[in-house]
Structure formats: structure tokens, C-alpha cells
Amino acid sequence: MARIYTKNGDNGSTFLLFGEKVAKNDIRVECYGTIDECISFLGLAYSVSTEKNISEIIIKIQRNLFILSTEIACPKEKYNRLKTKYKTTKKTMIDQLEKSIDKYQKLIPEINYFVLPGSSELSSYIDISRTICRRAERIAVSIENMNLLNNKMILSYLNRLSDLLYTLARYVDREKEYLKATE
């Protein structure tokens, strides 16, 4: 088995996909690191989920986020090469998020106020994932503004994903009284 450590990053640099060396605080590294954080918190949500349908959605999201991360980690001039070797973010992925939002939104009570996270362990992990997703989206917007984003569908995917995560967290707590943000 290969060693987990390479010592290549000891000087504060890392490599993007296909070998371009960048600083570890490069905005693309920040973005895919934030997406990795979201994937990890979704894993925590998955580990406590007892609802098969929610667990299946979480796994699908985690796998899709790996696709987004790969695209973000790819320098623009190497993107055509990436498309021949890896999956990319497609409109069908966004359509699936919207389909899930529509499905689960019909199954939760109408909410006309801001909800405080914390009604259950599972919904809390999903809400944490949502806020991390929102941060990744903000960073992705900055990447786009720098003309470094390979696929603009990444922005739509992250935006819709945060909506789905909000909806799923409320679905998980559908039989509880939601905590209102204001009294």
C-alpha cells in the first residue's frame, strides 16, 4: 500500500487535477475542500439516518459532489481532458434535485417562518451540510468571477442542493414542532 503522506504539501502548495501546482489557499482548493466538508457531514447524516429513502438520497448527493469537486480541481485548459475521463455536472443532476425538492416539499407542513436547526440529530447534520453547501456556492461564485469555473451548472447544482437539504431536514422533522427563529 502506498503511503498516505507525500510531503509534497509541506511548503503550502498542492496539485490540481492533471498536475498544475497551486497554493493550498487557492480559491479552487478552498472550494473543493468545502465540498469535501459537506460530503463528510452528509456522511454523518447518513450514519444516523434510519429512513432508507433519505439515506439513498444522501449517498447520491455525496457521489455527485465528488463529480463537482473533480471539475473544480481541474484547470480550465485541461477541462476537455477531464471530460474524456470523468463524469461532469449535468442538467439531469439538477433536475433530479428539483424532483426531490418537489416530492418532499409536498410531504412537509407549510412553513411561514425561519426555522431554527436542532429538532433532531439527523436534521441538524443535514442543516450543517446545507450551510456548508451555501459556503461552497459562494466560493464557486468567486471562482466563476475569476473565470476559473469549468462548468456553470456547478452553481445551479449547489444552489438547488442547499434547497433540497433544507427541505430534507424539515421532512425528517415533519412530525415534530419546528423551532421558530423568533418568538
Question: Which are the contacts of 106, defined by CB distance < 8 A and separation ≥ 6?
Answer: none
* Amino acid, res. 157: Y
Whole-number Å distance between alpha carbons of 87 and 55: 22
Q: Can you tell me the mean pLDDT for 105-111? A: 93
d(CA 129, CA 57): 13
Residue 87: name the closest of 140, 28, 157 by CA.
Answer: 157
pLDDT tens digits for 120-135?
A: 999 999 999 999 999 9
Cell numbers representing residue 14 in the block: 498542492
Please report which confidence band the pLDDT of residue 6 belongs to, taking 50, 70 and 90 as the band edges.
Answer: confident
Whole-model pTM: value is: 0.94
pLDDT bucket at 10, cuts 50 / 70 / 90: confident
User: What is the three-class DSSP state of 108?
Assistant: coil
Q: What is the DSSP string of 133-180?
A: HHHHHHHHHHHHHTT--S-THHHHHHHHHHHHHHHHHHHHTTTSPPEE
Instruction: Report pLDDT for 5.
Output: 79
Report pLDDT digits (tens) over 26-39.
Answer: 999 999 999 999 99
Q: Is the pLDDT of residue 145 over 90?
A: yes
Q: Distance between CA 86 and CA 66 in Å, rounded?
A: 11
Q: Quick check: 2 pLDDT over 80?
A: no
> For residues 89 and 5, is the Cβ–Cβ distance under 8 A?
no
Q: pLDDT digit string (tens) for 147-159?
A: 999 999 999 999 9
What is the average pLDDT across 139-145? 98
CA angle, 48 then 50 then 54, to 5°: 90
Average pLDDT, integer, range 56-60:
98
